[in-house]
Amino acid sequence: MKQMNFRDKLLISIIPIMVISTIVLAVAAYQIAKDAVLDTEVKGMEQIVKKTVSELEAWIADREKEATLFLKTKFLKITMKG
């Protein structure tokens, strides 16, 4: 069997370390990116919900004003008639 030279021994020991290091870095980068994207999406959804709640509250307030005005108008018509 042929003896391995120093370069081959060095490559055999360094390549697995490089592959493992690359995998660990890729997993870490993925986790960081995933967390950042999720955080951004959650904040965006919260803003959409707040805007929708605000619009619904304004719509409900307008309907309440219309109902009050309708009742006052109907009451005035009834009292004027008789």
* Residues 36-75: tens digit of each pLDDT: 999 999 999 999 999 999 999 999 999 999 999 988 887 7
For CA atoms 14, 20, 21, 23, give the dihedral sign: positive
Long-range contact pairs involving 3-11 (C-beta distance under 8 Å, separation at least 24): none
Q: Could you tell me the two tokens for 40?
A: 């951004």
**pTM for the structure as a whole:** 0.61
